[in-house]
Amino acid sequence: MAKAVPDVVLPNGRKMPIIGLGTYKSSPEEMKTVLSTALECGYRHIDAAYLYQNEGAIGKVLKEWLDSGRITREELFITTKLPAIANRAADVARFMDKQLKLLQLDYVDLYLIHSPVGLKGKDDDDVWALDDKGNIVLDLETDLESLYKAMEELVDCGKAKAIGLSNFNSKQIERILNVCRIKPSNLQVEVHAYHQQKALREICSKHKIPICAYAPIAAPYRDQGPILLENPTVTSIAKRLGKTPGQILIRFLVQLGIAVIPKSSNVKRIQQNFQVFDFTLSPEDMAALDGLDKGEKGRLFIFEDVFKGFSKHPEYPFHIPV
């Protein structure tokens, strides 16, 4: 029986559990242990993506759990994302079908445009879209408005219960709001104590678009400046409350009402990251964590490290601060 986890209510009325499991860099080989551990702990929200090349492994575990009756489809909240190599209206339905087949599902709960930047892969497996010289191949004709309209058709046919955006800036979000028939149900962006996205959160709150925080503990790139998990404010609160720094960082966002999708492939950390509902951070602790915000300087994901040349695309979102 899953523990009671608060939900974030999406604009379409459907509920997304406030904590989900991130799956970027979880290998297909380790997925059985990772996902089974998470489901046993009570995670019901899983964050996937075609880019992560592990949807097939996720699908196998989900099928085992569903077939055995240990879980029902209605209890799960599965998010996945359209890859940048398919950022064209004509590719959306095909990729949704491909991803549903990998996940062994009839529908996903949330389908996101992974990035406003479009790429041209040699084929559907070429998710990094690099040419023979290792240079990224950009699709300079990305048309976000027509792309989003194709996403809306997935809601019409029931293959996605909700659709949304990821890594879009406020101007791009407003462009979608100007043309949409079905409002984006979610914006997935980097949010953590060093990069709190206060301005973007306020804009989304005005438009009633809930945010899901990726990289909530800011741990993926340990060589990019000070490590949030080792920040003395974080470690001293953790020590005083008898919690781990990771739990403090996750609780901070959850207490702000922001959905989080921490990734771990480590059994103990998967369990710990979910145990954030048996304590509360005091207003003083919340204020201290709020004070760690570095604004734009705290951003980790500029994508140039994995997608060299990404920022040359006309829709690269981080050329403007919000």
Ligand X SMILES: NC(=O)c1ccc[n+]([C@@H]2O[C@H](COP(=O)([O-])OP(=O)(O)OC[C@H]3O[C@@H](n4cnc5c(N)ncnc54)[C@H](OP(=O)(O)O)[C@@H]3O)[C@@H](O)[C@H]2O)c1
Residue from 99, 169, 186, 264 in contact with ligand X (CB under 6 A): 264
Pair 35, 111: CB distance under 8 Å: no
Residue carrying structure tokens 């998470």: 38
Report the site for ligand X in 155-194 (rule: CB under 6 A): 166-167, 188
Distances (CA, A) of 158 to 112, 116, 237: 15, 24, 45
Interhelix angle for 245-255 vs 267-274, to 10°?
40
Cβ nearer to ligand X, comparing 92 with 218: 218
52 is catalytic: yes
Please tell me whether residue 192 adopts helix, strand or coil conformation: strand
Out of 146, 266, 280, 282, which residue is the one contacting ligand X (CB under 6 A)? 266
State the catalytic residue, choosing from 43, 52, 194, 214.
Answer: 52
Per-residue contact string for residues 104-133; x = within reach of ligand X by CB under 6 A: ----------x-------------------
**Closer residue to ligand X, CB minimum distance, 25 or 181:** 25
The one among 168, 301, 307, 310 contacting ligand X by CB under 6 A: 301
CA–CA dist 112, 92 (Å, integer) = 11
Q: State the Cα–Cα distance between residues 17 and 259, nearest whole angstrom.
A: 7
- Segment interacting with ligand X, rule: CB under 6 A, options 101-109, 171-179, 264-272, 288-296: 264-272
Which is nearer to ligand X, 46 or 155 (by Cβ)? 46
- 55 or 91, CB closer to ligand X? 55
- Nearer CB in complex with ligand X: 105/270: 270
Of residues 181 and 306, the one with the C-beta less far from ligand X: 306
Stretch near ligand X under the rule CB under 6 A, chosen from 67-75, 86-94, 116-124, 255-263 = 255-263
135, exposed or middle or buried, with CB in 10 Å at 0-12, 13-18, 19+?
A: exposed
CB 68 → ligand X: shortest distance, Å? Answer: 25
Residue type, 295: G
Question: How many other CB atoms sit within 10 Å of the CB of residue 107?
Answer: 17
The 8-class DSSP code of residue 149 comes to H
CB of 139 to ligand X, least distance (A): 17
Closest CA to 114 of 133, 132, 104, 129: 129
Contacting ligand X within 12-51 (CB under 6 A):
22-24, 47
Minimum Å gap between C-beta 269 and ligand X is 4
| 229 touches ligand X by CB under 6 A | yes
Q: Which stretch binds ligand X (CB under 6 A): 86-94, 122-130, 260-268, 279-287?
A: 260-268
Strands 15-17 and 7-9, sheet pairing: antiparallel
How many degrees, rounded to 5, is the angle at CA 41 between CA 38 and CA 42?
90
Return all residues near 188 (Cβ < 8 A) that are at least 6 apart. Answer: 47, 79, 81, 112, 164, 165, 166, 167, 211, 212, 213, 214, 261
Smallest CA-to-CA distance from 320 within 210, 175, 209 is with: 175
User: Phi/psi at 47 (nearest 5 deg)?
Assistant: -105, 110
Q: In the range 206-225, which residues lie near ligand X by CB under 6 A?
A: 214-220
* Interface positions with ligand X (CB under 6 A): 22-24, 47, 114, 166-167, 188, 214-220, 229, 244, 246, 261-266, 269, 272-273, 301
Supply the residues annotated as catalytic: 52
